[in-house]
Structures are given as structure tokens and as C-alpha cells.
Amino acid sequence: MLKDYPKLERTIFEGREQENPLINWWLFLVLVVGLSFIIVGLVIYLIIIYQRIERRDKHFARMGELFRTSLRTTEEVAKAKGIDIYSQKSEIEEKIKVAEDSLLRPKNAVLWTVLMVLTGGLVAFYVYYFLLVDWYRIQRLEQDIMDDFSDLWTQLDIVKDPIPVSLRVPERSYWAYLGLSIITLGIWLFYWDYVTHTEPDHVFPENRSWEDKILSSFREPEGAKAA
């Protein structure tokens, strides 16, 4: 046998093993385009989740500041009129403090968005929980505290009639939504996502309505004079 024949044979057969066609180009194109859409879709989804949590945190923080500022402004009027509001003030302060330690605490949009990625979406169950129930809870808190403020402002003659806060979103059951999502094999999740996305849009107009009434009440000549 020729000395280099084995090498020649090996070289030829190695070529037959190595020089195979790559993936079908059309299949490659479909996979690339499909995966690109999936990746882009996931990025957009995470951005929206971040924005939803951030919107919640900003609104809740603003409500805490609004309550505190309203209380300080009310104190100014009470002092100017020589009216003692210590007991009412203490009650409102306690409610604000409890809320700041619970419902009004920020969730941290960056943290929860990153955790959704790191856990493969497992923490989404908790994210969707508080995005589902917190908007109703903040309305109830606003309603409760504004009832106290209205009583106090009526006593101080800042307002003639109580400033109402209407509930624009219903109380929703997390377990009912989770159960319906399982029963419908995930179809209900689309509605759940829709609710978490649009719920605040029903809350904000109501807030603007009663917040404007607060401003106009303190702008009244007698209120301004008292302050």
C-alpha cells in the first residue's frame, strides 16, 4: 500500500462528514424572524410591566404627599381661626402613617422587572396580584381619608359640603382571576393583563375631580383669608 494512501482516504472521508449542508435557508429565515419577534415582544412586555409598577409607585407616593400637605395646610387654617383640631389631626396622621407602612410603600419597578427575568416569569404571579388589587385599595384609602378631611374642613368652614370620592374600579379577587386563568388554559390572562393596564385610567380622572375641589376650596376668599 502506498505510504500516504491512508491519509488520502482519511482526508476524503473527513470531507464527506464535515461538508454537509447547513440548515435550510427558508427554515433559518423563519426561525430568525420568529425569534426576533419573540425577543422584541418580550422586551416591550417587560418595559410595559416596568411602567405599570412605576405608575403605581408614583401615584401612591403622590397620594401620601397630598395627604400630608393637605393636613399641614389645614393646620394653618385652624391656627389662624384659633380652632383646636388635635384629635382629628392625630386620627388622620395615624391613618396616613399606617398606609405609608403598607399600601403606600413603593414596590420598586426595577427590582420586580429584573426578578421577572431572573425567575423566568415566576414572580409575575405576585406582580399581577398587586397590580390587580392595589388600585381598588388606594381608592378606598382616598375615600376614607377624604371623609375625615371633609368633616374637618366643614368644621373649619373651608368647605360647605363634603368632598366625595367615588370608587371607579371594583374590588377584584386575585384567586378568582387565577382560577379563571387556569380553567381557560390561559385565555383569561389576556383580560387580566388588560385590567392591570387600564384600571388606573379610570382612577386618575376621579382623582383630578376631587383634587380640583380641594384647590378651589382653599382658594376661596374666606379660606385664603383664614390661611
CB 135 within 8 A of CB 203: yes
Specify the pLDDT at position 78.
Answer: 93
Q: How many domains does the chain have?
A: 1
Which residues lie below 8 Å from residue 57, measured CB to CB, with a gap of 6+? Answer: 106, 107, 108, 109
In a domain, 16, yes or no: no
Q: Would residue 39 count as lying in a domain?
A: no
Within-domain flag for 53: no
Residue 56 lies in a domain: no
DSSP 214: H
Range of the domain at 73: 65-226
Buried b (16+ CB within 10 A) or exposed e, 26-46: eeeeeeeeeeeeeeeeeeeee
Residue 173 domain-assigned?
yes
CB atoms under 10 Å from CB of 11, counted, come to 10
Q: Does any domain span residue 52?
A: no
pLDDT in tens, the chain (227 residues): 677 777 777 777 777 667 777 788 899 899 999 999 999 999 999 999 999 999 999 999 999 999 999 999 999 999 999 999 999 999 999 999 999 999 999 999 999 999 999 999 999 999 999 999 999 999 999 999 999 999 999 999 999 888 888 999 999 999 999 999 999 999 999 999 999 999 999 999 999 999 999 998 888 645 444 44
User: Closest Cα partner for 111 from 46, 59, 63, 61?
Assistant: 46
Residue 41 in any domain: the answer is no
- The DSSP letter of residue 169 is S
* Residue 72 falls inside a structural domain: yes
